[in-house]
């Protein structure tokens, strides 16, 4: 059985990935399972760079294949911001609703055609030998005028999918996980792992 580290302390995300990878011969473990509390650097200028930094750092730390992701929101009218700072938009100590409110304030005078945006996600798979594989995906939408829906998190309540006239937060989780940036990138990463699984160590390398 090969081991795969998911570079997260988020139990919800870990559960999603365990379900996604359940049909592969993998033992999926988290940083908490391995007693790792160190934070890997996330100083890249792109989602891919941040995912790669985390994957490489934890693969070296654990001696195991490591899956890391980074994702966020890009708003065209804001020059692609908040981008890699999506989780820190507006500074430390803000809640999801605080960040949504700031975003809506920044766009308050713009009509819908000028409120285009996308969610983007990158997944990096690093092996202990330093080899690295990266996949990315995205989903296009517009920023709604006000929050709608009670599902999801982050910017989901204001990310409107025009073809469905629903925000991400109004979608059932099963549909969101299929069409979202993270869902699509995760499925691409799963296909990648299936191709490289024989190169993955089954235990920590000394």
* Residue extents of the structural domains in the chain: 2-199
User: Are 159 and 168 in contact, with CB atoms under 8 Å apart?
Assistant: yes
Averaged pLDDT, 124-135: 94
pLDDT digits (tens, 9 = 90+) for 72-127: 999 999 999 999 999 899 999 999 999 999 999 999 999 999 999 999 999 999 99
Q: Can you name the CATH fold of 2-199?
A: Maf protein (3.90.950)
Annotated catalytic residue, options 23, 32, 70, 109? 70
Question: What digits encode the pLDDT tens for the residues 71-82?
Answer: 999 999 999 999
pLDDT digits (tens, 9 = 90+) for 178-188: 899 999 999 99
DSSP states of 49-75 as a string? HHHHHHHHHHHHHHSSEEEEEEEEEEE
Q: What is the pLDDT of residue 202?
A: 67
Which residues have CB under 8 Å from 127's CB, separation 6+? 59, 65, 196, 199, 200, 201
Please count the other Cβ atoms lying within 10 Å of the Cβ belonging to residue 6: 22
pLDDT band at 206 (very low <50, low <70, confident <90, very high): very low
Residue 4 CA to residue 189 CA, distance in Å, equals 12
Catalytic (active site) residue 198: no
pLDDT tens track for 16-70: 888 889 899 999 999 999 999 998 988 999 999 999 999 999 999 999 999 999 9
């Amino acid at each position: 059985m090969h081991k795969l580290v998911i570079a997260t302390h988020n139990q919800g995300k870990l559960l999603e990935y365990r379900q996604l990878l359940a049909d592969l011969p993998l033992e999926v473990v988290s940083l908490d399972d391995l007693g790792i509390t160190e934070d890997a650097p996330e100083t890249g200028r792109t989602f891919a760079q941040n995912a790669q930094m985390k994957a490489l750092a934890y693969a070296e730390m654990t001696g195991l294949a490591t899956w890391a992701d980074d994702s966020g929101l890009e708003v065209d009218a804001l020059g692609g911001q908040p981008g890699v700072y999506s989780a820190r938009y507006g500074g430390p100590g803000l809640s999801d609703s605080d960040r949504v409110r700031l975003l809506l304030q920044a766009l308050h005078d713009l009509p819908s055609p000028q409120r285009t945006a996308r969610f983007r996600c990158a997944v990096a798979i690093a092996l202990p030998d330093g080899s690295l594989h990266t996949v990315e995906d995205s989903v296009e939408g517009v920023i709604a005028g006000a929050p709608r829906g009670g599902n999801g998190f982050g910017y989901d309540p204001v990310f409107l999918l025009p073809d469905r006239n629903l925000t991400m937060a109004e979608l059932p989780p099963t549909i969101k996980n299929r069409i979202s940036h993270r869902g699509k990138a995760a499925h691409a990463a799963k296909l990648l792992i299936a191709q490289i699984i024989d190169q993955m160590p089954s235990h920590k390398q000394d």
